[in-house]
Amino acid sequence: MKLLLFLIITSILNASNYPSFSNQEIKKIENSSGKIAKNRVMDYVNSINDFKKLPQQVQLQKVNTYLNQLLPQHDAVIQNKEDHWATPKEFLSLGYGDCEDYVIIKYFTLLKLGFDKDKLYFTTVRENYTGGYHMVLSYFQDKNKPPLILDNLSFRVLDLKTRDDLTADLFISKNGVFKIKNFKELVKTHSLHVGFENLLKRVQKGN
């Protein structure tokens, strides 16, 4: 009983209300981006509320699959500038984004569902078959195992070792920037990541 109570309290403390939308915000989104954007936001809110009833392992798959249905588009096309990290509210209002935007909205959605932020990392990777660079979300469910990967290019949530099409480069979180050894051990290289810190500041303002 004590263990159950501890788990419930821990889940509540880890949970985040972001992104949440007031009626005024939803009306503003409808006025600026149209009814389709409003419906997309409402569907997100309702879907995430439904996901709260599910076990965490199922939530991971549901979040990855659901958000992968948003359309991909490069930053230069959307924002007229390179490497813009859109907040979840921006992404949902617009309806499409770059790989970083999928990572960001999945990160905050999992926090909203009660996942531990110390286990979630924005992860830059190299695509081994194309040579290009990409970003995914890593979840270290078990510190003795490789992280699980949520990727907008894959509807399957697989661990990093299984994803032989990817080579991980940087793992980014509120705790700093890390490299990985043996698919599971993180080694800190920098105390912070400017892009990540700027994103958090924008989110804290409610953007």
Asked if the structure places residue 143 within a domain, the reply is yes
What is the gyration radius of the CA atoms in the chain, in angstroms?
Answer: 17
Asked if the structure places residue 150 within a domain, the reply is yes
Closest-CA residue to 132 (of 74, 193, 196): 74
Rounded distance between C-alpha atoms, residue 185 and residue 179, angstroms: 8
Residue 85 reports pLDDT greater than 60: yes
Asked if the structure places residue 15 within a domain, the reply is no
Q: CATH number for the domain including 117?
A: 3.10.620.30
Q: 7-45 burial, b for 16+ CB within 10 Å, e for fewer? A: eeeeeeebebeebebeeeeeeebbeebeeebbebbeebe
What is the model's pTM? 0.88
pLDDT confidence of 16, banded at 50, 70, 90?
Answer: confident
Structural domain boundaries, residue 174: 21-204
pLDDT confidence of 82, banded at 50, 70, 90?
Answer: low
Asked if the structure places residue 157 within a domain, the reply is yes
Asked if the structure places residue 11 within a domain, the reply is no
Higher pLDDT, 83 or 136: 136
Asked if the structure places residue 6 within a domain, the reply is no
pLDDT of residue 71: 80
Asked if the structure places residue 192 within a domain, the reply is yes
Residue 132 reports pLDDT greater than 50: yes
Asked if the structure places residue 25 within a domain, the reply is yes
User: Each residue of 170-201: pLDDT tens digit?
Assistant: 999 999 999 999 999 999 999 999 999 999 99
Count of domains for the chain = 1
Coil vs helix vs strand at 136: strand
